[in-house]
Amino acid sequence: MGERPRAQPGAPPAAAAPSGSLLNGLLHNGFHPPPLLRQEPPVPGHGSPAKKCRLRRRLDSGRRNRPPFPWFGMDIGGTLVKLVYFEPKDITAEEEQEEVENLKSIRKYLTSNTAYGKTGIRDVHLELKNLTMCGRKGNLHFIRFPTCAMHRFIQMGSEKNFSSLHTTLCATGGGAYKFEEDFRTIADLQLHKLDELDCLIQGLLYVDSVGFNGQPECYYFENPTDPEQCQKKPYCLDNPYPMLLVNIGSGVSILAVYSKDNYKRVTGTSLGGGTFLGLCCLLTGCETFEEALEMAAKGDSTNVDKLVKDIYGGDYERFGLQGSAVASSFGHMMSKEKRDSISKEDLARATLVTITNNIGSIARMCALNENIDRVVFVGNFLRINMISMKVLAYAMDYWSKGQLKALFLEHEGYFGAVGALLELLKMPEDQ
């Protein structure tokens, strides 16, 4: 992908003002809610009861500046699909009575389960409670499943007759293009495709603004170079610009962000989370990301990597290189004796450290070139991955002599899906 500067928008703002409660009165960091939708005419008095009910829902939604339920946002990545779902908690008795059966069925299915089939997971610990979005109060749910299960998801959408409720589904990520035809032909659903980096930034700013159920969304590690004193601490991202945003998914994109709609893609690398899992599957025989991380947690990468002290016998003092620094990733594997003595856990740990160190090195160079001192790491590679987060925090602090701070976010890989949901809330009902 080439560099894509984002200029400040030139179009004047809409004349209508948003409602006071829209998106929790946000945002302090520059996010602007959508304008009010047009007023709709009364419901006609003809048609089937079900059809009249659906039309009434749409017209009622238009009056209140919101699209009809259900509200979803999707980010279809190369490895994982991320789905966010807004569950309304303020449904009136009249709304419940008029609600069509398959809408109730979808809501019940998504909110009463924490697992869907063999691979779908709802991250209950990430649920955002008591949000106000488009004047409605509810909870935001976070669901993920492997991209290889996408066709089963599309088939389920067809079986649940999702198209009768919602003709357009807001989606971002490469899969929004790859699977567009399947959504249309199998589930009769039209995808509204959105730029993944736009959605990433908008979703991040929104989630950071509402916070994590009363706690800060952003955090860092204090004393990252001291393993015994290293502690997770909250960080206030009220004034986030400029920031270097490092999105670690299957691959890596690095953005320099100067405002909510002024950013550029500085660079990236193909060596990301997909590389880590792919190599671990080859080297250790593991099958899942969770299994790979579990093995890495038990391994010792110094049995695989050649360190500075293995070459110099200690530190390389002239250039400030500690003896414990990695001189050659997998460098010991040239020796048959070393190869015969290592474990699969050592290989998993060395693979994780190699990928993480490479990302950290590129991010540090980008931060220096862009003259930015805050580096925000996001993406599902960091999910349940404390090892990599501490390695990144250590690397940013140590190699910059304390000038760079590595920041992390609780909802790591879901910001693109949240950005897609926010775009849905801006859309006219008839789009």
Asked if 58 and 77 count as a contact pair (C-beta separation under 8 A), the reply is no
C-alpha torsion 105→107→112→118, nearest 10: 80
Query: Which positions ≥6 away from 374 have C-beta within 8 Å?
Result: 240, 242, 243, 244, 404, 405, 407
Q: Which residues are catalytic?
A: 196
**The two structure tokens encoding residue 124:** 């209950």
Give the N- to C-terminal CA distance of the chain in Å, as an integer.
29
* Helix, coil or strand: residue 36: coil
- How many whole angstroms separate alpha carbon 294 and alpha carbon 402? 31
Helix then strand then coil, in percent of the chain rounded to 5, is 40, 25, 35
Asked if 366 and 263 count as a contact pair (C-beta separation under 8 A), the reply is no
Query: Which positions ≥6 away from 430 have C-beta within 8 Å?
Result: none
Helices and strands: H and E segment counts in the chain: 14, 17
**The two structure tokens encoding residue 291:** 């299994």
